[in-house]
Amino acid sequence: MTTFSDLQLSEHVMRAVADSGYTHPTPIQEQAIPFILMGRDVLGSAQTGTGKTASFTLPMIDILSVGRARARMPRSLILEPTRELAAQVAENFDKYGRYTKLTKALLIGGESMADQLKVLERGADVLIATPGRLLDVFDRGKLLLSDIKVLVIDEADRMLDMGFIPDVERIVSLLARSRQTLFFSATMPPPIRRLADAFLTNPKEISVSPPATMAETVSHGIVVVSDEGEGALSAQRRKRQALRRLIDSHDVRNALIFCNRKRDVGVVHRSLVRHGYDAGLLHGDLAQSTRTEVLERMKRGDMKLLVCSDVAARGLDIEDLSHVLNFDVPSNPEDYVHRIGRTGRAGRTGQALTVALPEDGKYVAQIEQLIGKPIPRITLDGIPDAELVIGRRRRGGEVKGRKRPAPATRPHHDKPDNRAANGQRKPSPAETTAPPRAAAAATVAPPRRQRASPSSRPSSRDSDKPVKGLGDHVPAFLLREVKLPKKES
Ligand code: AMP
């Protein structure tokens, strides 16, 4: 069995590893570290929970131990899709780099740019950033990227989902070609492969435990709540009741509770608090300071339940999380795998429990196919259960009663970074081939914070019909008069 001393890491790094209590490298560390130390590009197929962060931070600390950073000219760059992940990677550098003099800077949205610039100004060996904030700073002339020797692109598939790929492409075009590039993604759909081909030179390809087999230590369960003869609201209420029963009937020490929609994060959180549960909430619209504080409380064990959206919770490392609870079945089976990856980490056991409605049948089938096994059904006292139905259209609270065209991009996720959402860029080739889910969701999701007036709200019967084209809505630009050029005589 490989030990850390077989990996040729420096004594400083080995001491920090020993302090962390690690006895053996994880498979991604065992395979990636020697090649990174050799200066090779790496294409890693691995998700969070596999020890991926240490697989690149440990060797980077040694690579960067030679040389010094100059003001505004970082020597390495790590791109992360969310602020939380960026902050987590920064913590890893602190932990593993404690016996070195390495300096680091963090550029993430939602926090004071002035403070971040000050750190950059002093010179940073490692710059950890989200793409939008990084480009903002670069465009203001406060950052030079010509000295980047090592580039890490982490969670590439999530970057694609969140519309960040054009920003990433631009950032890479600003870097020297002679750099070393480390590229990690949980999944490798064709657009991600194409990007990897464009960014990497003769990479060492490493794949560890594909997501479907990742969480062997996690047991699954699903309760299907009947919606028979009831409206959507009642079904949602029943789901909340089922969630409470799940919490009460299982040995939940601490849990993340995932909702598909930001709005439901608030609703579920309020409902739990009203019923006396110790719960907080986390989604992308909260101020960064609040998000950080909530996370800290959860990590310290001062909070039992955290209701959250997918993006806010992506990759979060909460030690020894006993449960992941899905208040909604995610539409994308890979999101299920990411969610449950928050529990059962580092060989511990965990439980993933899901609340479903009969109409979620199609999505549950996709998840079961991806994880390669059926999810056992659970029945709860006092909650009428039902069978899953394949082929029934999902009612989805937000879709009901609205006939509106969808925003063109990013319908499903909340946004950790403003830039990609505000139309400052053209879609890239990778984006235009984004997975079908994003496109499908875009046709049904309503624009944010727009509410139909009571008079314009269609009847509940209408709401079940699919909206064709633009529905009743005619966008203003179609009504604008077009001035034709005068004919030349
Ligand atoms: P990551 O995949 O980077 O999110 O890491 C998941 C968790 O595994 C973190 O809590 C790390 O501290 C932990 N970890 C990383 N490397 C090891 C190791 N070699 N042995 C035990 N735990 C580890």
The per-residue pLDDT for 382 is 84
> Hey, what are 218's tokens?
């996690």
Residues 6+ apart with CB under 8 A from 233: none
Which residue's CA lies nearest to atom 15 of ligand 1?
51
The per-residue pLDDT for 90 is 96
* Domain spans of the chain, in order of start: 4-207, 218-397, 433-448+465-477
Closest CA to 295 of 313, 272, 309, 310: 313
By the 10 Å C-beta count (0-12 exposed, 13-18 middle, 19+ buried), 120 is classed as buried
Domain 4-207 and domain 218-397, same fold? Reply is yes
Angle of helix 232-249 relative to helix 262-274, nearest 10 degrees, comes to: 60
Q: Is the dihedral of CA 9, 10, 15, 16 positive or negative?
A: negative
Mean pLDDT by 10 residues, the chain (489 residues): 92 95 89 97 88 96 92 96 93 95 93 92 96 96 96 94 93 96 92 94 86 65 83 80 95 94 94 96 85 88 93 73 94 86 74 94 91 90 86 53 32 37 39 34 30 33 38 47 49
Centre of ligand 1 to C-alpha 312, Å, is: 20
**Could you tell me the pTM of the whole model?**
0.59
Which residue's CA lies nearest to atom 10 of ligand 1?
317
3-state secondary structure of 466: coil
The per-residue pLDDT for 279 is 96
Which residue's CA lies nearest to atom 6 of ligand 1?
49
Q: Which amino acid type is present at position 309?
A: S
The per-residue pLDDT for 125 is 97
The per-residue pLDDT for 416 is 38
For a mutational test of ligand 1's pocket, the pick from 5, 22, 28, i.e. the residue with the most ligand atoms closer than 8 A to its C-beta, is 22
Shortest-distance atom of ligand 1 to CA 23? 20
Centre of ligand 1 to C-alpha 91, Å, is: 13
The per-residue pLDDT for 350 is 87
Centre of ligand 1 to C-alpha 48, Å, is: 9
Shortest-distance atom of ligand 1 to CA 88? 4
Alpha carbon separation from 105 to 126, 131, 180, 182, 307 (Å, rounded): 6, 14, 20, 19, 30
Ligand 1, residues at Cβ distance < 6 Å: 22, 25-26, 29, 48-54, 317, 345-346
Number of residues assigned to the chain: 489
Centre of ligand 1 to C-alpha 367, Å, is: 26
The per-residue pLDDT for 447 is 32
CA 112 to mean position of chain CA atoms:
23
The per-residue pLDDT for 287 is 82
Centre of ligand 1 to C-alpha 78, Å, is: 18
Q: Which CATH architecture has domain 218-397?
A: 3-Layer(aba) Sandwich (3.40)
Alpha carbon separation from 359 to 129, 439, 450, 468 (Å, rounded): 40, 20, 26, 22
Alpha carbon separation from 208 to 35, 88, 198, 315 (Å, rounded): 15, 21, 22, 16
Centre of ligand 1 to C-alpha 79, Å, is: 19
Centre of ligand 1 to C-alpha 346, Å, is: 6
Residues 6+ apart with CB under 8 A from 97: 16, 57, 61, 104
Q: What is the mean pLDDT of the chain?
A: 80
Which residue's CA lies nearest to atom 19 of ligand 1?
25
Q: Is the dihedral of CA 43, 49, 51, 56 positive or negative?
A: positive
What is the C-alpha separation between 122 and 279, in angstroms, rounded?
Answer: 40
Q: Which CATH architecture has domain 4-207?
A: 3-Layer(aba) Sandwich (3.40)
